[in-house]
Amino acid sequence: MIEIILTIVLAVISLMAAVCAVRAKSTLHAVIASGVVSLSASILFLLVAAPDVAMTEAAIGSGLTTVVFLYALKHVKQNRRDSDD
Amino acid sequence: MIKYMLIILVLIGMAWLFIPLATEFFTPDQANMLASSYVYGTATDLNMPNAVTSVVVTYRGLDTLGEVTVLFLATAGVGFFLRRKNQSACQRRPGSEVLKSGANLLSPLIIMFGIYIFSHGHLTPGGGFPGGVVMASALLLLLMANENYSFSHGLINLTETVSGLGFVLIGLAGLLLLGLNHFLDPRWLGLGQFGKLFSAGAIPMIYGFIGLKVGAEMSGLLDSMQCDGGEQ
């Protein structure tokens, strides 16, 4: 029973975060929201007994991808500032 | 207005397409022929408990070799486009005191955990790819905390080269020692005792090489992304 409740809660969180990632005004918020989608997806994978996939998703999807996106965002902002000057 | 109507129509159409997926879904209560041959082969042929690793490294080992190659090409592309023009242009913000203390305390433990993940890939969940990424995240933590921290690029490149070469050589050893049809077959090394760290043939070696290679590539990628790039 508690697994079903947890699954529903995580599914709702990941749907809400996905909508946030699409609708967010600031790109930073969108990147963080997409990290939240990956994090809840990794816990969902753990609940359906796929720990290998859950580990990879948590490390790559929510950890590394978010960081790489944030660095890319920083580079884009720097380039925009240079072209404005 | 008509745009929104069209979008809603398309969404309804897609929902209608997916209805059979939801209504006809059932959980199979026994594995099909291919799956059961993999699951039983893991224990009988390869002598190890983790069926996922046996599929990834042995039965579909060639796909893993391709994946590693794709990852190498991706990081090589990032390194090519974001190569630094001059070393001194790299300016980083110093990390806060909390981040510094946390990074110094945690990064050795995180690296050890990454090594644990890929060295026990044939026994417990995990393997080369998550283990390598966990190791790279420890280096990322160090890079973010200390503004003067840098690691040797020669060492990273050497690790990457040696691991990639080692993976291919282990595959070729199967071809040489067991005959044709046995490329990437790990059984040329003794199978050992079930459930021990040194067992399941060459799989711990292959996963060690994959883990080191992924860790080195990801560290190099993060290092080339977090500096420079602004003044191109």
Q: Which residues of A touch B229 (CB under 8 A)?
A: 71, 75, 78
pLDDT score, position B105: 92
Chain B nearest-CA residue for A81: B230
Interfacial B residues in 51-70 facing A (CB < 8 Å): 52-53
* Residue bearing tokens 């290679």: B213
Contact B133 A71 (CB under 8 A): no
Please give the torsion angle defined by the CA atoms of residues B224, B69, B167 and B58, in that order, rounded to the nearest 10 degrees: 130
Distances (CA, A) of B177 to A31, A60, B89: 49, 36, 52
pLDDT score, position B148: 77
Contact A75 B226 (CB under 8 A): no
Pairwise CA distance, residues B152 & B33, whole Å: 49
Q: Which residues of A touch B221 (CB under 8 A)?
A: 68
- Give the tokens for residue B212: 């080191």
Q: Which residues of A touch B130 (CB under 8 A)?
A: 52, 55-56, 59-60
Pairwise CA distance, residues A6 & A12, whole Å: 10
Pairwise CA distance, residues B225 & B61, whole Å: 30
Chain A nearest-CA residue for B130: A56
CB B114 within 8 A of CB B132: yes
Q: List strand residue ranges (DSSP E) for B25-142, in order.
A: none
The pTM score is: 0.81
Q: Give ∠ CA B157-B162-B166 in degrees, rounded to 5.
A: 150
Checking if the pLDDT of B229 tops 50, the result is: no
Pairwise CA distance, residues B198 & B177, whole Å: 20
Q: Is B232 on the interface with A (CB under 8 A)?
A: yes
pLDDT digits (tens, 9 = 90+) for A5-41: 999 999 999 999 999 999 988 889 999 999 999 999 9
pLDDT digits (tens, 9 = 90+) for B83-136: 665 555 566 777 788 888 989 899 999 999 999 998 888 888 888 888 999 998
Q: Is B152 on the interface with A (CB under 8 A)?
A: no
Pairwise CA distance, residues B162 & B212, whole Å: 9
Q: Does the interface predicted TM-score (ipTM) exceed 0.90? A: no
CB A40 within 8 A of CB A14: yes
Would you mind telling me the total number of residues written for chain A in this entry?
A: 85
Task: Say which DSSP state B152 is in.
Answer: -
Candidates B142, B198, B205, B139; CA nearest to B173 is B205
Mean pLDDT throughout B198-218?
Answer: 86
Which has the higher per-residue pLDDT, B195 or B49?
B49
